[in-house]
A and B are shown apart, each in its own frame.
Chain A
Amino acid sequence: GAGVSQTPSNKVTEKGKYVELRCDPISGHTALYWYRQSLGQGPEFLIYFQGTGAADDSGLPNDRFFAVRPEGSVSTLKIQRTERGDSAVYLCASSPRASGSNEQFFGPGTRLTVL
């Protein structure tokens, strides 16, 4: 079946602009996660949704970052007033549920470049 998809695959923007990154999880997966990966580093947790609600947004770096999942499926990560330091690969993952020892299924990521 279809895996996690993310659009766009690449996004180039200018400093100060607003961007939206989309994640389509695997159908039926209730848990959705966003991570950010800077060059040469491992992914870093940003936010986790269980259903429609953000159960933990402790990884969001500041209030310029916001994510929604209004219908419990597709999620959008929104970044306001982008800065060059926001350049990274943004990864989305989903799992059937958050608890237990479930594996997380990752999408290919969106590479964001802020000029």
Chain B
Amino acid sequence: DAKTTQPPSMDCAEGRAANLPCNHSTISGNEYVYWYRQIHSQGPQYIIHGLKNNETNEMASLIITEDRKSSTLILPHATLRDTAVYYCIVRVGGTNDYKLSFGAGTTVTVRA
């Protein structure tokens, strides 16, 4: 059962920020929000994860709302190479829940 809801697709312009929303209204206190992406014909690639605080790395920023029921992945300056399916996944960060449960994701198309 999918624990997250994402729009099926979105377009963004090259060089602009891409904001990808995700709803996870049933998230539990010990569950992390993970983002992976999958470029065509490749395996999924980890982007970022967070528990409650906003996170930033070299790839993206993750903004989690205070109630933790939704989050936004931000690609600050989208490039054509960022065209991919982006998956928002909720996963317990403890010792027993190791599976990644992928939904359908958001297909992001970056246009020149």
A22 to B100, CA, bound (A): 21
A105 to B43, CA, bound (A): 9
In the assembled complex, how far is the CB of residue B83 from the closest CB belonging to chain A, in whole angstroms?
16
Complex alpha-carbon distance, A35 and B43, angstroms: 10
B100 touches A104 (CB 8 A): yes
> Which residue of A40, A101, A105 contacts B93 across the interface (Cβ within 8 Å)?
A101
A72 nearest CB across to chain B (Å) = 16
Q: Is A100 a contact of B93 with CB atoms below 8 Å?
A: yes
Q: Can you list, as one digit per residue, whether each of A92-104 has a CB less than 8 Å from chain B (1) or not (0)?
A: 0100001111011
Interface window among B13-21, B73-81, B102-110: B102-110
Could you tell me the distance between the alpha carbons of A55 and B105 in the complex, rounded to whole angstroms?
27
Contacts of B42 in A (CB 8 A): 108-109
From B87, B101, B104, give the contact of A45 (CB < 8 A).
B101
Task: Let me know if A42 is at the binding interface, CB within 8 A.
Answer: yes
Determine whether A31 belongs to the interface, using a CB cutoff of 8 Å to chain B.
Answer: yes
A-chain residues with CB within 8 Å of residue B102 when the two chains form the complex? 35, 42-44
Q: Shortest CB–CB separation between residue A73 and chain B, in angstroms?
A: 18
Total residues of chain B contacting the partner, CB 8 A? 22
20 A-B residue pairs with Cβ-Cβ distance under 8 Å, sorted by A, are A33-B99, A35-B102, A41-B104, A42-B102, A42-B105, A43-B44, A45-B99, A45-B100, A45-B101, A48-B99, A55-B98, A93-B43, A99-B98, A100-B93, A104-B44, A104-B46, A105-B46, A106-B43, A107-B43, A108-B43
Which of B34, B46, B95 is the one whose CB lies under 8 Å from A99?
Answer: B95
- 9 nearest CB pairs, A to B: A42-B102, A106-B43, A103-B46, A99-B95, A98-B98, A101-B93, A45-B99, A43-B102, A106-B44
Please, what's the 1-or-0 string for B30-69, where 1 marks a CB less than 8 Å from any CB in chain A? 0010100000011111100100000000000000000000
* Closest chain A CB from B92 CB (angstroms): 9
Q: In the complex, what residue of chain B is closest to A4 when comparing beta carbons? A: B43
